[in-house]
Structure 1
Amino acid sequence: MRIVAAVLIATLAWALPLPGRAQTEADTAAVQGVIRNQLEAFKRDDGAAAYAYAAPNIQRIFPTAEAFMAMVRGVYQPVYRPRQYSFGALESRDGVLVQAVEIVDADGQIWTAVYTLEHEPDGSWKITACHLVRSEGTTA
């Protein structure tokens, strides 16, 4: 599983830049909607829906929704079963959109999930990577 996590973290470098395109409020709403929809699909165990939000680079690594969901359950438990979550600011770093999401897991542990996303030719946004960082604190 550590190899899988390393592969996903490495995919941060694969996120495509947005040449000549300014970030807009619509981008923020769309990006946060994609992440929210995927998190909600995880909660419902709707693997097909969750997988649909993964970018082609992730789908190449995990060629089926079942393989993708097995990886998420094994490596990304806070993302798979968040108690609650909230969005930070959407940032552009070297042309890559980066969205931080604060997650409280089932045990009250606080995590930051750092997502990168790419804009697809069809106009949709897809998640290219998620890097999970455990915070020091917990909630009640």
Structure 2
Amino acid sequence: MSARFVFVILTLLLLPVSAAKAEDPVADAQAVIAAQISALVGNDAETAYSYASPGIRSLYPNKDQFLQMVRKSYQPVYAASSYAFGRSTLIGGGEVVLQEVMISAKEGKDWTAIYEVRLMDDGSYKVNGVRMIRNTVSQGI
């Protein structure tokens, strides 16, 4: 079997997998956010840190510094009792996903977190930042 033939077969086999990753950037971003929140609530610094983008990792070069920052600046996420995904916006066809997450913190206060999730060169999504907004007025149902 020639090397060229093997390359063509491997390319064809891997093509659908790559395409599937890019089919639903919102679902991929939401899966990353859910996994990171789960890790944070479980106090699993290593797993939570694994979902941080290289830019965030450069600011917090190890999992302990990262977890300390989250505890201090993002307590509602760290101690989320429940959350739900809201609206999302795609930028650049899915290179960046802005995802709204409504959070009920353990102290009973409601927050909205706006996650910026970026597509990495390897096809994975990583959390590149979170903006917290305190919900002070009920929006009704």
Q: State the TM-score, normalizing by the size of structure 1.
A: 0.77
User: Which letter maps to 2:45?
Assistant: G
Do 1:53 and 1:126's aligned partners in 2 also have CA atoms closer than 8 Å? yes
Deviations 1:8-43 (A, max 9, x none): xxxxxxxxxxxxxxxx76211110000000000001
1:71 aligned onto 2:69: yes
Partner of 1:106: 106
Cα deviation, 1:37-75, whole Å, max 9, x if unaligned, reads 000000111000000000000000000000000000111
Aligned to 1:97: 97
Q: Kindly, what percent of the aligned residue pairs are identical?
A: 37
Counterparts of 2:117 and 2:70, CA distance in 1: 17
1:53 aligns with one of 51, 54, 59:
51
Please list every run of at least 4 consecutive aligned residues from structure 1 whose deviation after the TM superposition is greater than 2 angstroms.
92-96
SS of the aligned residue for 1:129 comes to strand
Alignment equivalent of 2:84, drawn from 67, 70, 86: 86
What is the CA-CA distance between 1:137 and the residue it aligns to? Answer: 4.0
**Which entry has the higher C-alpha Rg, 1 or 2?**
2
Aligned residues of 1:98 and 1:115 also touching (Cα < 8 A): yes
Aligned length in residues: 115
Higher normalized contact order (CA 8 Å, seq sep 6+, divided by chain length): 1
